Chain A
Amino acid sequence: MHLTLAMHIPDGFLSGQVAAATAVMATLVVAVALRIADRSIDEHQAPLLGVLAAFVFAVQMLNFPVVGGTSGHFLGAALAAVLLGPWLACLVMTVVVTTQALAFADGGIGALGANVLNMGVLGALLGGLIVAGAVKVVRPNHTLYLAVVGVGAWVAVMAGAAATSIELALSGTIPLGTVLPPMLGVHAFIGIGEAFITIVAVSGVLAARPDLVAIGCGRPLPVVLAPPRRHPGVAEEAS
């Protein structure tokens, strides 16, 4: 049977301990994300949550060829973090990755925690941190901001590839020194595609609805851990 696996780890690659440990970590992060979302989500963000999950799912299906007869696909964690803040992004990615495993057998059920961490949580938190940090420290103009978004997206993919390699090594599937270089090598290219798609999507949202970008360059400084709640009725912040 031909299965289009992705960076998604299938069952059988991870040891029981690694699968259990990553499942616990992913569950904890989702619990924290739900608590923070409770306090920070605003009325615009509920539909955005749905649309972003739809976009991430659809674009993850679009494998593009990279070097050496290998393909790669968009992950979307950094995009979700920029648009929704890192914690809501974790929730969006969890919905996408879980649906992929349960409905489409893309990624294992036992490996679900690892896949949520590698493709969702790591990228969302790291990508969000990079972009929010750069916005806070440098206060970039539009072009530099988009470049930073691209860097965040690239780093998110590399972090996911590194985490996948470490989990495979800890599972005794393959030594880290053997798996890490080729995983980082191929994902360095996949990350360029990720950066490109993320920049295009963020540009599109900035052009249409800049207020929907949680970590933007023209907004008041974002608080990384809890995006500021925009009160219904207060239309636009004075700038």
Chain B
Amino acid sequence: MPPRLFVAIALALSIGLGLAVSPFASSAPDGLQSVAVKHAFADRSTAGATAARAPAPGYAFPGVRDQRLARGLAGFAGTLAVFAISMGLGALIRRRRWTPATTHLS
């Protein structure tokens, strides 16, 4: 399989999962959350303050009423965002490697 096709398929799969499958994920409290509730330290969380600064707190795309749609859109945007950031990081590292300062190692 050519590299570009592999990347395209893997990215399409990831976007599909983030967009269309994530709205149907379990909303039960997760491992840490349920332990925190059971042992009465959940109320120490100041996640509300974190949420106030985040553009899409709790994976809810801003301005979208429908919860599932909001989560799907957040999944779509987030998946694309981390793809772009990591691609950029990889390109940056690779570019650095070919500068004269680093190639003299070989």
Contacts and interface: CB of A to CB of B under 8 A. Distances in A.
Contacts of A183: 31-32, 35
* Main SS at interface, chain B: helix
Q: How large is the interface on B (under 10, 10 to 19, 20 to 34, 35 or more residues)?
A: 35 or more
Max chain B Cβ within 10 angstroms of own Cβ: one of A92, A106, A186, A208: A106
A4 interface: yes
Interface stretch (A46-54, A128-136, A143-151): A46-54
Interface stretch (A21-29, A55-63, A218-226): A55-63
Interface in A1-17: 1-13
Contacts of A96: 82
A39 interface: yes
Q: Which of B33, B53, B74 has the most CB of A within 10 A?
A: B33
Contact of A58 (B75, B84, B93): B75
A7 B47 contact: no
**Top-9 shortest CB links A-B:** A46-B90, A50-B87, A58-B18, A53-B86, A105-B54, A12-B46, A105-B57, A54-B83, A61-B22
21 contacts: A8-B32, A12-B44, A38-B97, A45-B90, A47-B7, A47-B87, A49-B87, A49-B90, A52-B86, A55-B13, A57-B82, A58-B78, A61-B25, A62-B25, A63-B26, A72-B30, A72-B31, A91-B89, A99-B82, A109-B53, A183-B35
